[in-house]
């Protein structure tokens, strides 16, 4: 056994103990954490600081990891102006989507994405997506995937670039007109394409729901949404038929349970509500009215530790 030094006093060559020690106490034995042949880590584990420390504790300076996928971002729209360039004129908005998507990609620890822009015409759309597919393993676009007269993304991908559509339009809010498809590469590999809606809140919510799991899977890992139970702090009305992800904040109430309160600005063009949010409130497809105090699932949002 070993007695910690702070529980002893040394004087004139004699050590005095102020506490006892049981047999084997404070001794770290070889093999007590792992035995020879034990599996230490499994494939698909993200290399977090504790994981890296564990690997180093076994003496490994080099170990195999999955390649980080190359990402391309395509923003679409004649109305977009880059921040910091020129003042807006009528019918223009600043491009927030490409910058928000870039930040989301970097928050996952991935390399700097390539960024392209397409105007609202078939030629521009084809050129931008052709370049994006050439330079990446996965393309994320914002806008141009709905059913408007100037939405050319889906048709261009299918008819001009050989992208096979897997799904288009999903029963979620915000983000109904989400597109997903793939383009075959050499040796059977595939380049993935996610076409996200143009509204900025829809872009980030659908990135979180669909693109983030795909990016983690491409690196050999998987992620499942981690939900908590919370009491609704304010009545919510919704149209049934879609799974609504309402942006909200959390607080603790008297009985110790969590309470979730929707943020101001729930429209899909209002980034302030998402910027202020700590969580997503999951409102089921069949729901039309959720009363204050109803128990529901919430999902934590932490963009700084993505």
- Residue 83's φ and ψ, nearest 5 degrees, are -55, 145
Given pLDDT bands bounded at 50, 70 and 90, which one contains residue 220? confident
In angstroms, the CA 244 to CA 209 distance is: 12
* DSSP secondary structure letters along 135-170: T-SEEEEES--SSSTT--HHHHHHHTS-PEEEEE--
Mean pLDDT over 114-130 rounds to: 97
What's the sign of the alpha-carbon dihedral 241, 247, 252, 254?
negative
Long-range CB contacts (within 8 A, 24+) of 183-191: 183/133, 191/133, 191/136, 191/137, 191/138, 191/139
Q: The tokens of 110 are what?
A: 């991935």
Q: Are 139 and 193 in contact (CB under 8 A)?
A: yes
237-251 per-position pLDDT tens digit = 999 999 999 999 999
Half-sphere exposure for 58 (CA within 13 Å, toward CB): 17
**3-class DSSP state of 52:** helix
- In the structure, what pLDDT confidence band is assigned to residue 225 with cuts at 50, 70 and 90? confident
pLDDT for res 187? 67
Q: CA–CA distance from 286 to each of 142, 232, 239, 242, 290 (Å)?
A: 29, 17, 9, 8, 11
Flag whether pLDDT at 271 surpasses 90: yes
Contacts of 118 (CB under 8 A, 6+ apart): 74, 75, 76, 124, 125, 127, 128, 129, 144
What separation in angstroms does the CA of 45 have from each of 53, 57, 59, 217, 224?
13, 17, 19, 11, 13
Indicate whether 50 pLDDT > 70: yes
Beta bridge partners of 14: 11
Task: Please give the model's pTM, rounded to 2 decimal places.
Answer: 0.87
> Quick check: helix, strand or coil at residue 72?
strand
Q: What is the per-residue pLDDT for 102?
A: 98
Query: What is the CATH topology of the domain spanning 227-305?
Result: Beta-clip (2.40.340)
How far is 174 from 203, CA to CA, in rounded Å?
9
Distance CA 107, CA 110 (A): 7
Does domain 71-218 fall under CATH 3.20.20.70? My reply is: no
User: According to the model, what pLDDT value does residue 254 have?
Assistant: 81
CB 105 within 8 A of CB 71: yes
pLDDT tens per residue, range 171-219: 999 999 999 999 987 666 799 999 999 999 999 999 999 999 999 888 8
Check pLDDT > 70 for residue 19: yes
- Any idea where the domains of the chain sit in the sequence? 1-28, 71-218, 227-305
Nearest to 175 by CA among 194, 196, 154, 155: 196
pLDDT (0 to 100) of residue 188 = 67
Residues shown for the chain: 306
């Amino acid at each position: 056994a070993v007695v910690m030094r702070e529980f002893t006093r040394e004087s004139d060559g004699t050590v005095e103990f102020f506490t006892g020690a049981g047999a084997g106490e404070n001794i770290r034995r070889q093999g007590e954490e792992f035995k020879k042949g034990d599996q230490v880590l499994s494939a698909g584990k993200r290399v977090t600081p504790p994981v890296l420390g564990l690997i180093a504790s076994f003496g490994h300076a080099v170990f195999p990891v999955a390649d980080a996928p190359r990402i391309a971002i395509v923003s679409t729209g004649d109305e977009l102006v880059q921040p910091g360039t020129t003042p807006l004129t009528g019918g223009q908005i600043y491009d927030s989507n490409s910058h928000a998507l870039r930040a989301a990609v970097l928050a996952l620890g991935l390399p700097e994405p390539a960024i392209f822009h397409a105007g609202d015409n078939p030629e521009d759309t084809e050129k931008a997506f052709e370049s994006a597919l050439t330079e990446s393993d996965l393309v994320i676009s914002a806008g141009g995937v709905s059913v408007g007269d100037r939405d050319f993304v889906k048709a261009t991908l299918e008819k001009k670039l050989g992208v096979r559509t897997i799904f288009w339009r999903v029963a979620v809010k915000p983000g109904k007109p989400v597109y997903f498809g793939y383009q075959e590469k050499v040796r059977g590999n595939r380049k993935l394409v996610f076409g996200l809606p143009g509204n900025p809140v829809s872009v980030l919510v659908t990135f979180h729901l669909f693109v983030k799991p795909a990016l983690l899977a491409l690196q050999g890992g998987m992620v499942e949404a981690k939900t908590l139970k919370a009491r609704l702090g304010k009545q919510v009305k919704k149209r049934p038929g879609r799974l609504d992800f309402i942006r909200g904040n959390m607080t603790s109430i008297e009985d110790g349970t969590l309470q979730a309160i929707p943020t101001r600005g729930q429209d899909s063009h209002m980034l302030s509500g998402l910027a202020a949010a700590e969580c997503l409130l999951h409102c089921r497809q069949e729901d039309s009215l959720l009363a204050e105090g109803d128990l529901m699932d919430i999902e934590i949002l932490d963009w700084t530790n993505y």
